Amino acid sequence: MRISITDLCNLRCLYCMPEEGVCKKNHEEMLTFEEITKVAKIAAELGIEKIRITGGEPLVKKGIVEFIGSLSKINGIKDIAMTTNGVLLKKYAKDLMEAGLKRVNISIDSLRPEKYAEITRGGNVYDVLDGIQEAIKLGMAPVKLNIVVIGGYNEDEVVDFANLTKDDDVEIRFIELMPIGQAGSWAKEKFISNETIKQRIGNLIPLPHQPSSPAKYYKLPNGKGKIGFINPISSHFCGECNRIRMTSDGKLKPCLHSNQEIDIIDIVRNNLPQLREVMKQAILAKPQQHYLYTEGFELGQRNMSEIGG
Ligand code: SAM
Ligand code: SF4
């Protein structure tokens, strides 16, 4: 289960957030940490074992360490991970790990300070690199780095990213740009398929596929780490998708690429015993596949920052 805990973020990535940010919603419209923990308990009773915390940027949310602590006490939850932009990771990594966070995926679309600042509209890449080093130092293994390749922006860095796996045991994952929210109108034009990236890196050794992972993994000859390709567009993995998402305003989303949402905020607040059945129905409502770029497909109404990726 992927749980977004906030729509807010300390960056403004071009493909994810509008420049002016998103409107801060009223307190009452958002699930509290206590309410999210109640949902997570029921999810665990239904058999969900892994929770990924995402956002917006999860580390901007006050009380995040204590929240991770409360999730880690839930019976049946075996793995708690987080997707973060890494800007505040150096500050929080140790406390998060002690609270029960097992792993982090860190998004970093460029290793070059100016380019990184351009893509994120103002971010400092050195903050993220410090966060990555801290996660490696603490043994949050495997540290995974998410890279969205955008035509004309960072496509010339794919080999530099791949080379990071030569000496460090990190997983580099190239994610294809998806036409969601901010990127809806231009993603097709700037799209670079993972096949193209694979060819640019060359000389990749395939590794066995893990069915629970959306990525197909390879390694460089003598490389320590792995290089993954997540291809939601060029060859979707819907048949193997077992994810259910929850937004910070309490909507269950059976599929990232569908506008179908099940509003549970009122149920969580006023009719908790009903939640189990509603969650079950949401899981069973997962579509067979997504329909991105097919005829009649409607672009999603939310930005990625409002879903959590
Ligand atoms: N702020 C955190 C971060 O950046 O990792 C977590 C939330 S962010 C929405 C989660 C992931 O979604 C990031 O790796 C980001 O690069 C990815 N993402 C956002 N918009 C995307 C898009 N249009 N296509 C592909 N990936 C996207
Ligand atoms: Fe923020 Fe993550 Fe979206 Fe970038 S991708 S704007 S860091 S939520």
* pLDDT tens profile 216-259: 999 999 999 999 999 878 766 677 788 999 999 999 998 877 77
Could you tell me if 293 and 180 are in contact, meaning their C-beta atoms sit under 8 angstroms apart? no
What does each C-alpha distance from 243 to 19, 96, 198, 214 come to in angstroms?
A: 29, 23, 26, 10
Least confident of 65-79, 123-137, 206-220: 206-220
> Residue 301's pLDDT is what?
66
Look up the CATH number of the domain holding residue 297. Answer: 3.20.20.70
Domain enclosing residue 56, as ranges: 2-307
Is any atom of ligand 1 closer than 6 Å to the C-beta of 149? no
Q: Is 107 marked as binding a ligand?
A: yes
Which ligand neighbours the alpha carbon of 84 most closely?
1
> Residue 49's pLDDT is what?
97
Q: Is 59 helix (H, G, I), strand (E, B) or coil?
A: helix
Whole-prediction pTM: 0.94
**Residue, of 132 and 27, whose pLDDT is higher:** 132
* Alpha-carbon torsion, ordered 141, 32, 260, 16, to 10 deg: -60
Q: Is 23 marked as binding a ligand?
A: no
Atom of ligand 2 nearest to the CA of 120: 4
Mean pLDDT of 38-42: 98
Cα separation of 119 and 154, whole Å? 9
Q: Is 112 marked as binding a ligand?
A: no
- Taking 90 as the threshold, does the pLDDT of residue 158 lie above it? yes
Residue 303 pLDDT class (50, 70, 90 cuts) = confident
- Taking 90 as the threshold, does the pLDDT of residue 36 lie above it? yes
- Taking 90 as the threshold, does the pLDDT of residue 298 lie above it? no
> Residue 212's pLDDT is what?
72
Alpha helices per DSSP H over 73-123? 89-99, 113-120
Mean pLDDT of 174-191: 89
> Residue 239's pLDDT is what?
77
**Residue, of 190 and 291, whose pLDDT is higher:** 190
Among 194, 137, 197, smallest CA distance to 168 is for 137
Is any atom of ligand 1 closer than 6 Å to the C-beta of 148? yes
Least confident of 192-196, 232-236, 293-297: 293-297
**Residue, of 80 and 142, whose pLDDT is higher:** 80
Among 36, 51, 37, 47, smallest CA distance to 2 is for 51
Cα separation of 63 and 65, whole Å? 6
Mean pLDDT of 275-286: 93
Distance 270 CA to ligand 1 centre (A): 32
Residue 117 pLDDT class (50, 70, 90 cuts) = very high
Atom of ligand 1 nearest to the CA of 54: 6
Kindly state the tokens that stand for 297. 């497909």
Q: Is 83 marked as binding a ligand?
A: yes
Cα separation of 171 and 146, whole Å? 9
Residue 294 pLDDT class (50, 70, 90 cuts) = low
Does residue 148 come out as left (phi exceeding 0), alpha (psi in the -120 to 50 range) or beta? Answer: beta
Kindly state the tokens that stand for 74. 């839930």
Task: Please state, for a pLDDT cut of 70, what percent of the chain lies above it.
Answer: 95
DSSP 31: -
- Taking 70 as the threshold, does the pLDDT of residue 121 lie above it? yes
Which ligand neighbours the alpha carbon of 231 most closely?
1
**Residue to probe by mutation, ligand 1, list 16, 53, 176, most atoms within 8 Å of CB:** 16
- Number of domains making up the chain: 1
